Structure 1
Amino acid sequence: MMCGAVRRSLVSVSERPNVVLIHGHDVGRFLSCHGRTAVPSPNLDAFAGGAVVFDNAFSTAPLCTPARSSLFTGRSPHVNGLMGLAHDGWRYRHSVRTMPEVLSEHGYHTALVGLQHEHPDPTVVGFDEVRGMGFLPRALPVAEEAAAWLRRRRDDDAQFLLTVGMWEAHRPWRAEDYEFADPATVEVPAFLPDNEHTREDLAGFYGAIRQFDQAVGHVLRAVDEFCDPASTMVIVTTDHGAAFPRAKGTLYDPGVEVALVVRPPSSWRAGPARVTSMVSHLDILPTLVEAAGGEARPEWEGRSLVGDLRGEAGPAERELYLEKTYHDGYDPIRAVRTQRYKLIRNFADGPRLTLAKDLEESPTRRGMGDAHLASRPALELYDLLTDPAELTDLADDPGHQEVVAGLRGRLERWMTATADPLLDGSIGRPAASSRLVDAQPDLAGQTG
């Protein structure tokens, strides 16, 4: 019996797939299927071998809540409202519709198992069903619950969206929780110093990824056992870049690059492939709605990837816009990325790198010195073709002033078109949350 056979519709089963969306935390693209061959992620490697791998996928932001807000709404963080962390009071704007809310309009039953980071209360972000209410849902228990959910629904004819959120590989990485890698075998990326401190840190990170991969493998096996591959789409992604200095919390590529591996329904007859064109988390919601037989909404900022999944070439040229406003503190940054260049505009004075608390306390920080505490420039420009690690700032180079001016103009036009509040000056924190927002009405005659 197929998992969630489609109900009567003008759209065929092959065009209205069930969707299993698995997302990891602070992983970036540190997976073997994305070229990090030393990272222990065999289950995802095997899955990618039969799927479409997007080699240049990006989040809109380098932080948990803002990044996920774009994945689940198709809109940039300053547009949807989540410019900082949900537990710091940031909330969606009134008119914003989330992925489960939109797919519910197309007849989908929607469920969340495990982590979400859009609101302190997971029951208010639009899912019909929420399983696993903890704020820190570890990967293996989440995978068990997701597999059980799929098992229970194998004879149910309702179309579904199941999102499976896992805590890994968020810090801390403790030896009692994870099987660490041998520090001598890890691959140190070019943006980090290669020393014993970084290798110690990466060894723990690899251990957390190993557990994430085991959990994803458990969910994937349940999908294969309880769902019909002809009518099931599986998406595996990560929220933003890895939790290392010069990655998470920055608009350099290591802060916003994400894994994205999609296995479309087998009825689409699309073979495994690698897509090298730039794509964004903003593209996921338009993709799912097109697959469900719906049409894109004008407020969505991304494009559908259905064509890419069917083997059609995506656009050769595209620009992506990236942003950071709040994390531990106020850090307003905007950027535009093309295939060749990235321009970063820093809207406030500060150090070159602002490290979140978990990064400041990391082993890597102990071995990286203090060069990152130097003052940041107002503008940064990087040639991603010749300098993929973004180590050479060309913003003041006389030979690149035309590039700087062109990209700065594009960035300002986008900020204007999307009514970015940063154009009006410093952005304040949201008002303090109140329990009265969700309060029940008083009893008759009750005055306090």
Structure 2
Amino acid sequence: MSTAVPKPHVVLIHCHDLGTWLSCYDAPNAPTPRLRELADESVVFDRAFATSPLCTPARSALFTGISPHRNGLVGLTHHGWRYAAGVRTLPERVRDLGCRSSLVGLQHEDPDPAVLGFDEVRGLGFLPRALQVGRESADWFAEHGRSETPYVVTIGMWEVHRPWPAEDYAPFPAADVDVPPYLPDNADTRADLSGLYGSIRQLDDAVGMTLDAIEQHGDPDNTLVIFTTDHGAALPRAKGTLYDPGVRVAMIARPPRAWRVPAGRVSSLVSHLDVVPTVLDLLGAPAAGELEGRSLRPELSGDAEAPADRTLFLQKTYHDSYDPIRAVRTDRFKYVRNYVQGPKLVLSKDLEESQTRRGMGDEHLQPRPEEELYDLDADPWEMTNLAGTADWEPVRSRLAGRLDESMADTGDPLRHGPIARPPAPVRR
């Protein structure tokens, strides 16, 4: 990419609870033709991860480049969690670079989207359905798409959050859904997934509306389009867990067409923490020392070198209840540390009431271990816990040490005992 190329526009499309349930990832039957088209001309990150398997904490890292325990959003914002003092969001940072920012549709970082630093908010930070967001984004590009001033617009969609009622989402044929190995393949699961696929289909339509608006009214030659989701799907052993189905996410990035970067797939580990450093890098900002990720400019410019082995740190603290878990994810291994006693899986209310739960039995209610270790090469679905076995003790010890070092280096308050709930909100 020549240094003479102007600062790109950035369009960040994000949604709820999708994980990698796309036909260009792990769900070949998923009804996602528009996202597949996007992937076919993009850099697709095969091993991209959220920092957390929950909505607000995951998005906090995506939009700050800082882990939840540092930025303050370790739980859901509608349960009282707020950004810590001094934390700067992506729209606040790009404003310093002469870049305009807009929010169209959903956000889940604060009850008041006006405090997040956007120059413009459409939909009050929440529009009920993806198709509404698609129409609103089309209107936005019709008005601003060819602006000479660089812009960052984030387009947030509710889908594919539960529930998936048939009156809102036409069910997909249950016989044609993809059932992963961590779920029982039975009528209950398939009926549940048919609703999920109906929601995914509507999400795909809305993304298509946005992409069409960029083509018609925007500047695709100078626009970076990123599509991602907050975390894994709302299914048992996915959302709310630090297993890969809970934290692995779709991340598809189409560089500006003028860069002439060939489409391809990247297998190295990347994180939502990398998005803010990437955007700032492409807009010409110096590296910010407090950011935890790295710029993905090499991959997006088509000249990526094989990166060194990377370690990702994952976390859960609060969802419906207090459930502190920390994990280390390397190229080959996953180490998980559970800080409180409880069942193997803590299901949030929406999962406990799901059709999949109805047909899965109660094995997940057995006591959880304090530590878990998985060899992802041999056991990609993390079904066989190797912690406590003599042959794997050196690996467990090494990864446990890495986790301790990271928690100390980043000031994770969990090191000093239980993390208290946020103070009760008050009227100002």
Both proteins in one fold, TM over 0.5: yes
- Cα deviation, 1:216-267, whole Å, max 9, x if unaligned, reads 0000010111122221110000110000000000000000011000001122
Counterpart among 287, 292, 295 of residue 301 in structure 1 = 292
What corresponds to 2:355 in structure 1? Answer: 363
For residues 155 and 384 of structure 1, what CA distance do their matches in structure 2 show?
46
What corresponds to 2:385 in structure 1? Answer: 393
- Cα deviation, 1:316-351, whole Å, max 9, x if unaligned, reads 410000000000000000000001000000011111
Change (3 A) 1:314 1:112: farther
Change (3 A) 1:15 1:343: farther
Report SS of the residue matched to 2:221.
Answer: helix
- Cα deviation, 1:105-148, whole Å, max 9, x if unaligned, reads 11111000000000001111110100012645310000100110
* Unaligned runs of at least 5 residues, structure 1: 1-9, 437-448
- Cα deviation, 1:270-317, whole Å, max 9, x if unaligned, reads 110100001000000000001001121111000000001112124141
> What amino acid does structure 1 have at the position aligned with 2:180?
P
User: What is the aligned residue count?
Assistant: 426
Q: How is 1:1-400 mapped onto 2 (pairs within 5 angstroms)?
A: 12=4, 14-133=5-124, 135-311=126-302, 312-400=304-392
For residues 97 and 291 of structure 1, what CA distance do their matches in structure 2 show?
18
**Is 2:103–2:125's contact at 8 Å kept on the other side of the alignment?**
no
Counterpart among 395, 409, 419 of residue 427 in structure 1 = 419
Question: Once the 2 structures are TM-superposed, how far is the Cα of residue 153 of structure 1 from its aligned partner?
Answer: 1.2
**Range that drifts further, 268-277 or 411-420:** 268-277
Give the TM-score of the pair, scaled to structure 1: 0.94
> What amino acid does structure 1 have at the position aligned with 2:417?
G
For residues 96 and 199 of structure 2, what CA distance do their matches in structure 1 show?
37
Change (3 A) 1:11 1:434: farther
Change (3 A) 1:426 1:47: same
Report SS of the residue matched to 1:130.
Answer: strand
Give the TM-score of the pair, scaled to structure 2: 0.98
Report SS of the residue matched to 1:70.
Answer: helix
For residues 365 and 145 of structure 2, what CA distance do their matches in structure 1 show?
55
For residues 46 and 114 of structure 1, what CA distance do their matches in structure 2 show?
23
Q: Which has the larger radius of gyration?
A: 1
**Is 2:145–2:219's contact at 8 Å kept on the other side of the alignment?**
no
For residues 316 and 49 of structure 1, what CA distance do their matches in structure 2 show?
27
- Answering whether residue 399 of structure 2 is matched by residue 407 of structure 1, we say yes
**Is 2:103–2:154's contact at 8 Å kept on the other side of the alignment?**
yes
**Is 2:145–2:214's contact at 8 Å kept on the other side of the alignment?**
no
**Is 1:62–1:251's contact at 8 Å kept on the other side of the alignment?**
yes
> What amino acid does structure 2 have at the position aligned with 1:355?
L
Report SS of the residue matched to 1:101.
Answer: helix
For residues 121 and 306 of structure 2, what CA distance do their matches in structure 1 show?
35
For residues 356 and 306 of structure 2, what CA distance do their matches in structure 1 show?
38
> What amino acid does structure 2 have at the position aligned with 1:379?
E
Report SS of the residue matched to 1:277.
Answer: strand
> What amino acid does structure 1 have at the position aligned with 2:174?
P
Question: Once the 2 structures are TM-superposed, how far is the Cα of residue 433 of structure 1 from its aligned partner?
Answer: 1.3
For residues 30 and 116 of structure 2, what CA distance do their matches in structure 1 show?
33
Report SS of the residue matched to 2:314.
Answer: strand
Report SS of the residue matched to 1:345.
Answer: strand
**Is 1:324–1:331's contact at 8 Å kept on the other side of the alignment?**
yes
> What amino acid does structure 2 have at the position aligned with 1:248?
K
> What amino acid does structure 2 have at the position aligned with 1:362?
S
Question: Once the 2 structures are TM-superposed, how far is the Cα of residue 163 of structure 1 from its aligned partner?
Answer: 0.3
Report SS of the residue matched to 2:268.
Answer: coil
> What amino acid does structure 2 have at the position aligned with 1:32?
S
For residues 255 and 136 of structure 1, what CA distance do their matches in structure 2 show?
25
Question: Once the 2 structures are TM-superposed, how far is the Cα of residue 155 of structure 1 from its aligned partner?
Answer: 4.6
**Is 1:15–1:291's contact at 8 Å kept on the other side of the alignment?**
no
Question: Once the 2 structures are TM-superposed, how far is the Cα of residue 11 of structure 1 from its aligned partner?
Answer: 6.5
Question: Once the 2 structures are TM-superposed, how far is the Cα of residue 15 of structure 1 from its aligned partner?
Answer: 4.8
For residues 145 and 100 of structure 2, what CA distance do their matches in structure 1 show?
14
For residues 218 and 226 of structure 2, what CA distance do their matches in structure 1 show?
14
Report SS of the residue matched to 2:24.
Answer: helix
* Dislocated runs of 4+, deviation >4 Å: none
